Amino acid sequence: MKRKVIRQGNNTLTITLPREWTTKHSIAAGGEIEMTMAEKSLILDPPSQEGHRSISLNVDTLGRLCIAKLLIACYEQGYDTITLTFRPGTISSWSHGDESITDVINFFTARLIGFEVLSQSERSLSITNISEQFSHADQVIYRIFFLLKEYVEQGTHALSDAKSDLEMGESRHDAITKFVALASRIILNDGARPKNDAMHLFVIFQGLDKAADFIRYVYRNAKDQKIAPGVPKVMRMAAGYLELYHQFYYKFSLAKINELDRMRGEMKDQCRMLARKGQNPEIVMSIDAFVETIHGIIKPKIAMETKTF
């Protein structure tokens, strides 16, 4: 769209705003709009809504992974509109080769629940929150547990039955990561929640996310290996450990802590035995790391429950 530049006075240049845009965003004479300068581009946004947080960032010098982490950080911190400015071109990475920078941003935007691309030009891309389907942390953590348990259980089945479900490992992992980011966003911006509880919940969410990473490594390594008979057994034990932690999370019990510790010891004995025999060591190490990560988020849950002792 082109607009005619009009001179007013000696040093002022003005342009008119499209009526359709001003009507849509309730902009009238005397009002204000947001303006961002980005090299050759000038980005105009309607006034921020009450409680609506916006941020604009230049990503010219950032790599693929750095852009991903930046988007997730802004998402978790509660920004509702994120505008990224950049020079047109490609990003090179060891994992994905050469990609268009807009393709990279769109790819990672798809992993943020409730966010969609609002506008896109040659030198900028804005994404915004269009959905509040999940507005409570409890709703989201319930979904995280469900997805993670399903991920482990289907991995167990795949290891036992001709690797039938291994191809879906990445998409299942990505779904868990999206919900963890959403959960973190909710608790970090929940002013009514005590700060200590928010901190402990954040640690639990991040632990569940890391645990999902280790299951992803199981899926990846299992694709090209012959699975030893003992490996599905330790995967089933890991699934049982996660189920017990799930019960512990929703129905706190000191007795369950003892049971979790006992199961952890049995798991480690099995993993050491398989490691000594050289049976799928990379897979066994990932399963062991999964259980250790879940074990690591027992403590923050205890801290949240100390007031009930």
| Phi-psi map region of 35: left, alpha, beta (phi>0 left; psi -120 to 50 alpha) | beta
Interatomic CA distance for residues 50 and 40, integer angstroms? 30
**Positions of CATH 1.20.58.220 in the chain:** 137-308
CATH classification for the domain delimited by 35-129, as one of 3.30.1370, 1.25.40, 3.30.590, 3.30.70: 3.30.1370
pLDDT at 132: 57
- Residue 11 has a CB neighbour count (10 Å cut-off) of 6
Q: How many Cβ atoms sit within 10 Å of the Cβ of residue 56?
A: 17
At CA 210, angle to CA 96 and CA 291, rounded to 5? 130
- 7 — phi, psi (to 5°)? -85, 135
Could you give phi then psi for residue 162, rounded to 5 degrees?
A: 55, 30
Q: What is the share, in percent, of the chain residues with pLDDT greater than 90? A: 39
**What Å distances lie between residue 101 and 59, 64, 164, 186, CA to CA?**
9, 8, 35, 28
Mean pLDDT (whole number) for 1-25? 79
Q: Residue 297 has what pLDDT? A: 97
Assigned token pair, 73: 């950080």
Q: How many CA atoms lie within 13 A of 167 on its CB side?
A: 2
Identify which has the larger pLDDT, 107 or 51: 107
C-beta of residue 109 within 8 angstroms of C-beta of residue 82: no
Rg (CA), the chain: 24
Global pTM reads 0.66
Q: What is the pLDDT of residues 124-147, one digit of tens each?
A: 888 888 655 555 778 788 889 988
The confidence score (pLDDT) of residue 296 equals 97
Is the domain covering 137-308 a CATH 1.10.150.390 domain? Answer: no
Residue type, 150: E
Across residues 91-119, what is the average pLDDT? Answer: 83
Beta strands at 81-85 and 54-58: parallel, antiparallel or unpaired = parallel
Task: Indicate if the pLDDT at residue 163 is higher than 80.
Answer: no
Q: How far apart are CA 297 and CA 235, in angstroms?
A: 19
In 10 A of CB 161, how many CB atoms? 10
Out of 105-119, 158-172, 196-210, 276-290, least confident range: 158-172
Residues of the chain with CATH 3.30.1370: 35-129
The span from the CA of 155 to the CA of 219, in Å, is 7
Question: Per the structure block, which two tokens stand in for 237?
Answer: 């034990």
- Tens of pLDDT, residues 60-82: 889 999 999 999 999 888 888 89
Mean pLDDT of the chain: 85
Report CA-CA distances (Å) from 103 to 163, 251, 252: 31, 44, 45
